[in-house]
Amino acid sequence: MDTIQASISVPRDLAGALDIPLTSLAPYRQEVVALELFRQGRISSGKGAELIGISKLDFIRLLHKHDIPYFTDTPAELEAEVAAVSLLLKNQ
């Protein structure tokens, strides 16, 4: 994966509130960014997992840990999508 180097300044109070070692700040920052991008619908769970170097299943577990829903469609929306795919498959 192509990367760029980015640094941020964090107030000491904020770093203390995170309650993580400073050496863990960079991986934590990547995790938070990936989770937020997924929450906004800007990346898939697979891409989120790839960005932070974990399996898709572990990313889904991370979503759960942070109370971010994996499925955002309503049951009616999912049902309509399944019906549309079934129709497409029948017409092949």
pLDDT tens digits, 37-84: 999 999 999 999 999 999 999 999 999 999 999 988 889 999 999 999
How far apart CA 51 and CA 73 sit, in angstroms, is 24
List all residues 6 or more positions away from 72 whose beta carbon is below 8 Å from its beta carbon.
41
DSSP label at 42?
A: S
Token look-up 């469609």 returns 73
Predicted TM-score (pTM) of the model is 0.73
Give the separation between CA 40 and CA 26, rounded to whole angstroms. Answer: 21
Dig out the tokens for 25 from the structure: 């700040």
Give me the pLDDT at residue 16, please. Answer: 81
The rounded distance, in Å, linking the Cα atoms of 49 and 71 is 16
